[in-house]
Amino acid sequence: MSMRRTTIKDVAEAAGVGVATVSRVLSGGSASPETRERVLTVATQLDYRPSALGRNLRQRRSGGIGLLVPDVTDSFYGRLADGVLACARSAGEPVILGATGDDPEREAEMVGMLLEQGVDRMIAIPSGSGEIWEPTLRTGLTAVFAHRVPAGRGDVPAVLADDRAGVRTAVDYLTGLGHRRIAYLGGPGQEQRVAAFRETLGPLVDEELLVFARGSRDSAYAAAAGLLQHRPDLTAVLAGGNLLGEAAVLAARELDLRVPRDLSLIMFDDVPWAELCAPPLTVIAQPAQDIGYRAAELVLRGGARRPRGVLLPTELVVRGSCAPRGTSRSPR
């Protein structure tokens, strides 16, 4: 009976480093001499043969598209994945799906595993860390980012919604209703949205009203509840995603704040439950399925000539979760 082949994760655990570090060392990237020696020694001892990061990478690939999303249960990412699958199916390409949890270490682990499985191309909604992508892209892998771009990786084609226009439209709508104390509830990889929020509000920006959560429901709820408890003077919230919007709705309900009488709320992502809320939520709609489809088109077209990125429009869908400032709660 054949023994299980050593993986990049085995090497990382034995060397006491992350998968991203092993990937970087094996592909000739930067690392301290001590770390490099330890990783190479462990790789030799475990007889590790990197099927994806070695010299014969191109010959070993078996095709297919790797797709990395933060959360397969999130309806926005589900619709984006559906777009990727639809395009891949028409091209006869299999798709291997992985969930990163917006955790850079787990993302690095998933990238390593997909490379070891001989994946030809990769579409990723990155966690925000650009560190792991340098050695990965050096292998010659065709990659496209969707929905966001990690720091320092503007050289990789990406399919994005026009976040800046979406934020500007939402903030202009709220200020037009008379709101001045507007909070932003954000999550991983939302640097563009935060920058647009600051620019649009200008001198009205209150840095204490910019609150960030990690990529989990518990963290989102804690951030939303803390914001609403500690700043009773705020009158409106812009939530940077549907998980954050859900947290804001739940926290407001727990604190007996009525939307929109006490608090106006706008959320990124037009997910099905947004219209079923009481009142229905005003949202910045993003074309999730189209983002996935266009990302798959780009990655399938990839080759010697790098394809250009794509910027897709957003739309402010006005419903019942916002009201003029005069009907909102007074500062305490």
Instruction: For the chain, give every residue range classified as CATH 3.40.50.2300.
Output: 163-286+316-327
Q: Distance between CA atoms of 235 and 129, rounded to whole angstroms?
A: 33
Compute CA distances 64 → 56, 134, 234, 299, whole Å.
18, 21, 49, 11
Strands (E), 151-279: 158-161, 182-186, 210-212, 236-239, 264-268
Q: Tell me which of 2.40.128.690, 3.40.50.2300, 2.60.40.2480, 3.20.20.70 is the CATH number of domain 163-286+316-327.
A: 3.40.50.2300
Q: 15-19, 21-25, 173-177: which has the minimum mean pLDDT?
A: 21-25
Residue 59, pLDDT above cutoff 70: no
Whole-number pLDDT of residue 50? 57
Q: What is the pLDDT of residues 226-260, one digit of tens each?
A: 999 999 999 999 999 999 999 999 999 999 999 99
Q: Are strands 282-285 and 315-317 parallel, antiparallel or unpaired?
A: antiparallel
- Please indicate whether residue 64 or residue 327 has the higher confidence score (pLDDT): 64
Whole-number pLDDT of residue 110? 87
Whole-number pLDDT of residue 60? 47
* For range 187-210, the mean pLDDT: 93
Residue 1, pLDDT above cutoff 60: no
Instruction: For the chain, give every residue range classified as CATH 1.10.260.40.
Output: 1-50
**Whether 95 contacts 152, CB under 8 Å:** no
Q: What is the pLDDT of residues 273-284, one digit of tens each?
A: 999 999 999 999
* For range 298-319, the mean pLDDT: 83
Token duo for residue 320: 């019942």
The CATH superfamily label for domain 1-50 reads lambda repressor-like DNA-binding domains (1.10.260.40)
Partners of 183 in the beta sheet?
A: 237
**Whether 65 contacts 122, CB under 8 Å:** yes
